[in-house]
């Protein structure tokens, strides 16, 4: 048996098409979704992400602004820019690319963004809403995973779901989303005892640890659904996930890396920005 490859690239194109169609309708009502992206310093990976976000805005018909600030930008200057963008009627969503330089507090940046424009869904207000299940925005990677599960008609209800990784960006919100869909959720981390045994119980396993090939075939139940959100580079410098490729022979469905969960992340950012524009203009 070889797993069905869950094609995030194809789903991403489909979702962006529907976002563009909705954006065209919004423009007829005088509303254009607008995304402001801030990058501080010159981290090469961040620069690639920012370019991809700009391209996605074009594909979805959005207005976009990019602020490339020098490394020595002070926290006060950055927070001042965010305050201006919070007030700008042209901007529906604000995103500050992480990491920021060490002299700037990431939490202070997150806290400064208006929760109604927090399209990354990192603000404590939005995190709390995810916890209780009454949310407007969801962090983009977990949101993309849920879209993939829906596209392939995989229902978490009543299933054993194991999330490996407890980051605020992926692991914790991912667990909440699966729980809201009636999955029985276990969150694993570096101090989990007998991790392989816990993983083998999973009907749906989400790997978000940031270690190349960390999840091996002996950690997977036959026929499990395996979602790999890791993006790493192996010894040869090739992009790879947290899940060893051989798992494909044991799983029923699996996301490849690249081309699985990754393409969905920026697409869900676009979906959040569209929703923000509608909410700010009182449009259902």
Please determine, for residue 1, whether its predicted confidence score (pLDDT) is greater than 80: no
Please determine, for residue 215, whether its predicted confidence score (pLDDT) is greater than 80: yes
Question: 259 is written with which tokens?
Answer: 């081309």
- Output the DSSP codes for 59-99: HHT-EEEEEEE-TT--HHHHHHHHHHHHH-TT-SEEEEPSP
Is the previous residue joined to 270 through a cis bond, with omega within 30 degrees of 0? Answer: no
For residue 163, what are the β-bridge partners?
A: 187, 206
* Summary mean pLDDT of the chain: 96
Which pLDDT does position 219 carry in this prediction? 98
Considering the entire predicted model, what is its pTM?
A: 0.95
Is the previous residue joined to 68 through a cis bond, with omega within 30 degrees of 0? Answer: no
Active site residues: 53, 97, 120
Please determine, for residue 168, whether its predicted confidence score (pLDDT) is greater than 90: yes
Tens digits of residue pLDDT in 169-180: 999 999 999 999
- CA distances for 61 relative to 198, 200, 230, 270, 276, angstroms: 44, 44, 29, 10, 15
Q: Sign of the CA dihedral 206, 210, 213, 219?
A: negative
Tens digits of residue pLDDT in 103-124: 999 999 999 999 999 999 999 9
Q: Which residues contact 109 (CB under 8 A, 6 or more apart)?
A: 75, 78, 79, 82, 96, 100
């Amino acid at each position: 048996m070889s797993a069905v490859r869950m094609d995030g690239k194809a789903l991403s194109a489909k979702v962006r098409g529907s976002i563009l169609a909705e954006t065209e309708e919004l423009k007829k009502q005088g509303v254009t979704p607008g995304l402001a992206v801030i990058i501080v310093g010159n981290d090469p990976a961040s620069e690639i992400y920012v370019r991809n976000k700009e391209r996605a805005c074009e594909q979805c018909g959005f207005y976009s602004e990019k602020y490339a600030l020098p490394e020595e930008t002070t926290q006060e200057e950055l927070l001042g820019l965010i305050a201006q963008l919070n007030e700008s009627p042209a901007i529906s969503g604000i995103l500050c690319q992480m990491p920021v330089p060490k002299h700037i507090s990431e939490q202070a940046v997150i806290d400064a963004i208006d929760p109604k424009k927090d399209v990354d869904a990192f603000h404590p207000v939005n995190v709390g809403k995810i916890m209780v299940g009454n949310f407007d925005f969801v962090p983009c990677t977990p949101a993309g995973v849920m879209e993939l599960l829906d596209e392939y008609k995989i229902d978490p209800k009543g299933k054993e779901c194991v999330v490996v990784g407890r980051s605020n960006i992926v692991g914790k919100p991912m667990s909440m989303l699966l729980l809201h869909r009636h999955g029985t959720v276990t969150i694993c981390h570096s101090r989990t005892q007998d991790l392989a045994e816990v993983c083998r119980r999973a009907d749906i396993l989400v790997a978000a640890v940031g270690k190349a090939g960390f999840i091996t075939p002996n950690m997977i139940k036959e026929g499990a659904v395996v979602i790999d959100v890791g993006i790493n580079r192996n010894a040869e410098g090739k992009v790879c996930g947290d899940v060893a490729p051989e798992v494909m022979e044991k799983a029923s469905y699996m996301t490849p890396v690249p081309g699985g969960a990754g393409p969905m992340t920026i697409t869900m950012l676009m979906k959040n920005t569209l929703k923000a524009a509608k909410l700010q203009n009182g449009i259902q």
